[in-house]
Amino acid sequence: MLTATPGQTIGPFYGYALPFKRGNELVPPGVPGSIRFHGVVTDGAGKPVPDAMLEIWQADGAGAVPQQTGSLHRDGWTFTGWGRVSTGDDGHYSFTTVEPGATDPGRRPFIAVTVFARGLLNRLFTRAYVPGPGSDALLDSLPAERRDTLIARRDDTGLRFDISLQGEHETVFLRFPGQ
If one counts every other C-beta atom within 10 angstroms of the C-beta of residue 143, the result is 7
Percent helix, strand, coil in the chain, to 5, is 10, 30, 60
Q: Are 100 and 60 in contact (CB under 8 A)?
A: yes
- 87-143 per-position pLDDT tens digit: 999 999 999 999 999 999 989 999 999 999 887 778 899 999 999 988 899 999 999
Ordered structural domains, the chain, with CATH: 34-164 (2.60.130.10)
Residue type, 174: L
Per DSSP, what are the bridge partners of residue 135?
107
- 135-158 per-position pLDDT tens digit: 899 999 999 999 999 999 999 999
Per-residue pLDDT, 29: 87
User: Can you tell me the distance from the alpha carbon of 175 to that of 179, in angstroms, rounded to the nearest whole number?
Assistant: 6
User: Can you tell me the distance from the alpha carbon of 154 to that of 172, in angstroms, rounded to the nearest whole number?
Assistant: 19
pLDDT more than 70, % of the chain: 85
Name the DSSP letter for residue 141: H
Residue type, 112: A
CA quadruple 166, 168, 169, 174: dihedral positive or negative?
Answer: positive
4: Cβ contacts below 8 Å, ≥ 6 apart:
none
User: Can you tell me the distance from the alpha carbon of 70 to that of 21, in angstroms, rounded to the nearest whole number?
Assistant: 14
